[in-house]
């Protein structure tokens, strides 16, 4: 039954997450434009862009980047299905990391110096945020008594009261996972950041469309992780979780439009310090309490 539930959740996530992610991407562009004194594109501009990419032919160097991106998209949908069907949070984190690795392999496969540089930076981003993600999952387990997401709905209070340091650390690395400035080192969603787009430099057509859809799904999944800290057995928890997730999403847009890109050394160092301080302190407190 657990496998069937996860399978149903994966299919539902694969259908609904791109819709929600597309709308969030459109709002992101509009809000960013208003912050910069511009009108901005229409809400459905990300959909129009992806539809145009799907209609174009793939121009590929290696011929396998499309296969790798398909695998990355499938693993992303599976990670979302595990989480939103109430499954294991740690397993969801591992599976989404597999998707990131396939994305890196797709960039490396082109043998372009720009793509390889972007792939190297993407690898550094994974190395930066992964320790905090794992510590966040451990803190969730220690506070909720289980890695299963569905178990939070049996709690008398949200786990945020016991995992506030881990949540702060997670918000820090969320900027990396959402590929927002100042940590958008591997590729950027904004043209003003760079002329060559790093990991996606040699991708086009349907392959590039898969990248965009994968980013939409990732954003929905990561915002779901954010909301998880504020869920409990009360019916109002879902509303609170959505509000907090949207507030965190808006905060990331604000950061993205007010900070310049930093060097990878600072990203790696600061993310590991946050993981050690926030995650470490939270684990010690939970062990003592």
pLDDT of residue 1: 46
CA 260 to chain CA centroid, Å, is 20
On the question of pLDDT at 84 being above 80, the answer is yes
- For the stretch 221-258, pLDDT in tens is 999 999 999 999 877 899 999 999 999 999 999 999 88
- Select the more confidently predicted residue: 110 or 69: 69
Cβ-based neighbour number of residue 3 at 10 Å: 7
Return the closest-CA partner of residue 106 out of 28, 192, 206, 180.
206
On the question of pLDDT at 262 being above 70, the answer is yes
| Per-residue tokens: 263 | 């060097």
Mean pLDDT of 83-100: 95
| Per-residue tokens: 32 | 């960013």
On the question of pLDDT at 272 being above 80, the answer is yes
Query: Helices (DSSP H) in the chain: which residue ranges?
Result: 2-35, 45-55, 65-84, 89-108, 113-144, 164-177, 205-228, 237-256, 264-274, 280-288
| Per-residue tokens: 75 | 């693993």
Question: Residue ranges per domain, the chain?
Answer: 2-288
Buried b (16+ CB within 10 A) or exposed e, 112-134: bebbbbbbbbbbbbbebbbbbbb
pLDDT of residue 89: 96
The pTM score is: 0.93
pLDDT of residue 2: 79
- Output the 3-class SS for 157-222: CCHHHCCHHHHHHHHHHHHHHCCCCCCCCCCCCCCCCCCCCHHHCCCCHHHHHHHHHHHHHHHHHH
Of the ranges 49-53, 200-204, 258-262, the best mean pLDDT one:
49-53
- For the stretch 199-208, pLDDT in tens is 888 888 899 9
Task: Average the pLDDT over each of 67-81, 98-112, 184-198 and give the range with the smallest value.
Answer: 184-198
Return the closest-CA partner of residue 173 out of 279, 89, 289.
279
Q: What is the mean pLDDT of the chain?
A: 91
Return the closest-CA partner of residue 28 out of 213, 223, 250, 244.
250
Q: Residue 189's pLDDT band (boundaries 50, 70, 90)?
A: low
pLDDT of residue 3: 80
Torsion over CA: 89, 95, 100, 103 (sign) = negative
- Dihedral angle, C-alpha 281, 133, 258, 194, nearest 10 °: 140
Q: How many residues does the chain have?
A: 289
Q: Residue 188's pLDDT band (boundaries 50, 70, 90)?
A: low
- For the stretch 149-187, pLDDT in tens is 999 999 999 999 999 999 999 999 999 999 898 888 887
pLDDT of residue 15: 96
Task: Average the pLDDT over each of 36-50, 102-116, 235-249 and give the range with the smallest value.
Answer: 102-116
């Amino acid at each position: 039954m657990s496998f069937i539930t996860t399978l149903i959740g994966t299919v539902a996530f694969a259908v609904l997450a791109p819709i929600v992610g597309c709308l969030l991407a459109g709002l992101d562009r509009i809000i960013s434009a208003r912050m910069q004194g511009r009108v901005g594109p229409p809400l459905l501009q990300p959909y129009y862009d992806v539809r145009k990419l799907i209609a174009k032919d793939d121009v590929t160097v290696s011929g396998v980047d499309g296969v790798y991106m398909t695998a990355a998209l499938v693993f992303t949908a599976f990670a979302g299905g595990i989480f939103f069907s109430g499954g294991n949070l740690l397993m969801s984190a591992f599976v989404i990391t597999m998707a990131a690795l396939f994305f890196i392999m797709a960039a490396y496969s082109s043998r372009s110096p720009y793509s390889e540089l972007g792939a190297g930076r993407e690898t550094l981003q994974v190395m930066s945020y992964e320790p905090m993600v794992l510590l966040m999952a451990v803190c969730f387990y220690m506070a909720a008594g289980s890695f299963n997401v569905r178990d939070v709905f049996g709690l008398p209070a949200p786990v945020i009261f016991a995992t506030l340091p881990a949540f702060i650390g997670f918000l820090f690395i969320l900027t990396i996972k959402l590929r927002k400035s100042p940590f958008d080192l591997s590729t950027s969603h904004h043209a003003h950041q760079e002329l060559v787009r790093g990991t996606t430099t040699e991708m086009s057509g349907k392959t590039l469309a898969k990248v965009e859809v994968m980013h939409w799904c990732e954003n929905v999944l990561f915002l779901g992780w954010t909301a998880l800290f504020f869920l409990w057995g009360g019916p109002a928890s879902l509303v609170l979780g959505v509000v907090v997730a949207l507030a965190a999403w808006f905060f990331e847009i604000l950061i993205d439009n007010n900070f310049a890109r930093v060097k990878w050394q600072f990203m790696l160092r600061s993310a590991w310090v946050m993981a050690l301080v926030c995650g470490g302190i939270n684990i010690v407190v939970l062990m003592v309490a």
